[in-house]
Amino acid sequence: MRVVIAGAGISGLTAALSLHAAGITDLVIHEAVDEIQPLGVGINILPHAVRELIELGLGDRLAKIGVETADLTFVNRYGHRIWTEPRGLQAGYKWPQYSIHRGRLQFMLLEAVRERLGAEAVVTGSPIAGLDHDADLLIGADGIRSGVRQALFPDEGEPLWSGDVLWRGTTYGTPFMTGKSMIMAGDGLKKIVIYPIAPPDDDGNQLINWAIQHRAPETTPRGDWNRPVSVEKVLPHVKDWRCDELDIPGLIAAAEMAYEYPLVDRDPLPRWSTKTVTLMGDAAHPMYPTGSNGGTQAIIDARVLAYALATGQGLQFYEGERRPVTNNIVLANRKDGAEVILKLAHQRAPRGFADIEDIMPLAEREEIALRYKKLAGFEPATLNARRSWSVRHETGTDVSSS
């Protein structure tokens, strides 16, 4: 089987590694840019995707460049704690959760592809726009502006803008809480997520990622997807926010630069595949970053696709496993996913609260957190018991860990 992959991002590179591990080795990745750069800011890889990378033999590499996330805390704009939950191994998963710089993750995957498949496996400066290619299967892993998706659905149009924008940036600073913690702060109008994405350096400082989501004026440019903005533009939006665990205004003020992104997604598709073409990752199901699911779902797509092809079950199995799940996540993220807890707390106590139990009982908070985990496929007991997507030879050897 000859496979062509459009896009050398997280999904395309993971697909190449997964197909190779499953015995499908006649493949090439075509990447549009002339030189792949370690771009982006922070990303979270949840336990169900970390499992897949570990089964691909990448666990040690991942551990060296990421932070093993230990806990997540939700607070309102006054720093009143709404909810804290353990994450990764501390939450009972068999696999950790990692917070990591997206570019470093991409380069780790790229290095592994070149080692295992050869340097010629990734061809840069080679965009794919149509469907007519010399391959048994073309995989569109080329992002939210996918040329492959556009060829399949030429009348779809531009991505859908929510009306919100994200300001993203990084700051070198003193570790907060456990040094492996995430904080989600917000009210009914804006929210910020903060977490470290690299181990402490020799001076004890960490690279800390932050992202602020807020409603934007109608005049906000939507064509520039990585527009630099000054920190002075961002800071007024959080200057009065308080948090005992972290000086949020101080963290933002210490950043050198911020970048502005429109919060966009696309409507779920009725299908991803033809007989010789399929989609994955952001090309198939671009979603809001709520719940830290974009990169995670792309990795799982790659693994399930490789399993489906190697076991002879084909694109129908792959799409049947993945499209309903990711469609549900796209729609849930439009309603804030698990982060709806911030909105509810603000609606019930806009000026804060003395005791969270007075406005949102523990059982309700637990139900919100568990509901999203089930929808996104990472409820601990179910994930821990789920079969592996690794393909095994008749000898019983696990190809994906070789």
pTM (global) more than 0.85:
yes
What pLDDT was estimated at residue 221? 55
Least Cα distance to 265 among 287, 295, 297, 282 occurs for 287
Q: What does the pLDDT read at residue 402?
A: 33
CA distance 292 to 46: 7
Contacts of 175 (CB under 8 A, 6+ apart): 196, 200, 204, 205, 206
Q: Which pLDDT score is estimated for 331?
A: 94
Conformational region of residue 396, where left means phi above 0, alpha means psi within -120 to 50, and beta covers everything else: left
Does an H or E element contain 29, and which?
strand 27-30
- The whole-chain average pLDDT of the chain stands at 92
The confidence band for 130, taking pLDDT boundaries of 50, 70 and 90, is confident
277: DSSP letter: E
Query: Quick check: 97 pLDDT over 70?
Result: yes
What confidence score (pLDDT) does residue 392 get? 65
As a whole-number percent, the residues of the chain with pLDDT over 70 amount to: 95
pLDDT of residue 394: 37
For the packed helices 47-55 and 294-310, what is the interaxial angle rounded to 10 degrees? 40
Q: Which two tokens stand for residue 156?
A: 């779809």
pLDDT for residue 219 is more than 90: no
- Burial per residue of 355-388, b for 16 or more beta-carbon CB atoms within 10 angstroms, e otherwise: ebeebbeeeebeebbeebbebbbbbeeebeeeee
Give the closest residue to 171 by CA, choosing from 245, 250, 72: 250
Mean pLDDT across 7-22: 97
**pLDDT of 43 strictly over 50:** yes
DSSP letters of 385-401?
Answer: HSPP---B-TT--BGGG
With a cut of 90, say whether residue 76 has pLDDT above it: yes
pLDDT band per the 50, 70, 90 thresholds, residue 133: confident
Predicted pLDDT of residue 125:
95
Q: CA 186, CA 83: separation in Å to the nearest integer?
A: 12
Per residue in 375-389, pLDDT (tens digit) is 988 999 999 999 999
Domains plus CATH for the chain?
A: 3-158+266-401 (3.50.50.60)
Between CA 140 and CA 146 the distance in angstroms is 7
What is the mean predicted confidence (pLDDT) over 190-210? 94
How does residue 222 score in pLDDT terms, banded at 50, 70 and 90?
A: low
Q: Is 76 exposed, middle or buried (0-12, 13-18, 19+ CB in 10 A)?
A: buried
Give the model confidence (pLDDT) of 330-353 as tens digits: 999 998 888 899 999 999 999 999
Band of the pLDDT at 218, cuts 50, 70, 90?
low
Look up residue 252 and give its DSSP letter: H
Note the pLDDT of residue 348: 96
Average pLDDT over residues 209-220: 82
Mean pLDDT value across residues 56-66 = 96
Specify whether the backbone of 177 is left (phi greater than 0), alpha (psi in -120 to 50) or beta. left
pLDDT digits (tens, 9 = 90+) for 266-292: 999 999 999 999 999 999 999 998 888
pLDDT > 90: what percent of the chain?
81
> pLDDT tens digit string along 226-273?
788 899 999 999 998 989 889 999 999 999 889 998 889 999 999 999
Instruction: Determine the Cα–Cα distance for residues 402 and 387; give it in Å rounded to an integer.
Output: 18
Enter the tokens of residue 235. 């800071």
